[in-house]
Amino acid sequence: MPKIIEITDFSSPELDVYARLTENQLLSRHEPEKGMFIAESPKVVERALDAGYTPVSLLLERKHIEGEARQVIARCGDIPIYTSDFDVLTKLTGFALTRGVLCAMRRPPLPSLEKVCHGASRIAVLENVMNPTNVGAIFRSAAALSMDAVLLTPDCSNPLYRRAIRVSMGTVFQIPWTFLGNTSDEWPERGMALLSELGFKTAAMALKQDSVSIDDPRLMSEEKLAVLLGSEGDGLRSETLARCDYTVRIPMAHGVDSLNVAAASAVAFYQLSK
């Protein structure tokens, strides 16, 4: 049976996960077994549950107990369910809840690179993409446009930050992903070597005059291809570009020089996953 708990004390430590802990505190880098994240909205929570993530507690608007959150509650067993009216929850969390439901969940151990890439023919590699909104949007495009996995360099924003999860609409739970190493000095030399060992050719999205067009037949014929996307402002590092098998550009019109990394990812994934 669910444990419905009416919120009467804003300072209760059980509510810290929703109201007072930062994303980095939730990540708990030094004690990863204690790491948590927040999933927001019934649909996103259900996608996390479908993927096997473990719920810790729920925070929801009272009216959703028998409404939109009913199915989520039924799937979460006897975890605590903290509830109150919308205005109280907004005051507690500091933001308006999307569809009135938050779920604190355990972070599982990261899978190995080999496990994430097993059987994959098209993967995305994100280099130093630090904006969680862009990370979430890229994951949504990757899942929708038939990419098999996403790899992130150590300086990328974490895909389980609340905003990344929300923007991705929970697709971060549907597509395999992991980090390429634990520290920034492992990229690009070691990370690129690992991709090569796994049999991937690398295609860097870059604004270079000698880049091939995104519809180049050679790209389409590669059995295993990793599509590399760089940071929001600077793009891919020169050291990374030097190690790639291809540099690829999306043709532009009307004098536009480039696309946002999330928009470019959608174009690249659509073309290169055919």
Q: Quick: pLDDT tens for 146-198.
A: 999 999 999 999 999 999 999 999 999 999 999 999 899 999 999 999 999 99
Question: For 158, which DSSP code?
Answer: P
What is the per-residue pLDDT for 234? Answer: 86
What is the per-residue pLDDT for 1? Answer: 62
| Residue predicted with more confidence, 79 or 232 | 79
Q: Is the pTM of this model over 0.85?
A: yes
* Angle subtended at Cα 216 by Cα 115 and Cα 231, rounded to the nearest 5 degrees: 55
Query: What confidence tier does 25 reach under pLDDT thresholds 50, 70, 90?
Result: very high
Residue 269, pLDDT > 80, answer yes
- Hey, which bits of 153-274 come out as E strands? 177-179, 201-205, 212-213, 225-229, 246-249
What is the per-residue pLDDT for 199? Answer: 98
Tell me what the mean pLDDT of segment 69-92 comes to: 89
Query: What confidence tier does 70 reach under pLDDT thresholds 50, 70, 90?
Result: very high
Residue 98, pLDDT > 70, answer no
> How many whole angstroms from its chain centre is CA 179?
11
Residue 30, pLDDT > 80, answer no
> Is the Cβ–Cβ distance between 245 and 141 less than 8 Å?
no
| Residue predicted with more confidence, 30 or 176 | 176
Tell me what the mean pLDDT of segment 251-260 comes to: 87
Question: For 193, which DSSP code?
Answer: H
Residue 133, pLDDT > 80, answer yes
d(CA 271, CA 66): 44
What is the per-residue pLDDT for 258? Answer: 83
Query: What confidence tier does 114 reach under pLDDT thresholds 50, 70, 90?
Result: very high
Tell me what the mean pLDDT of segment 117-135 comes to: 97
What is the per-residue pLDDT for 4? Answer: 92
What is the per-residue pLDDT for 209? Answer: 77
The residues with which 235 forms a beta bridge, in sequence order, are: 231
Residues 6+ apart with CB under 8 A from 243: 188, 189, 192, 202
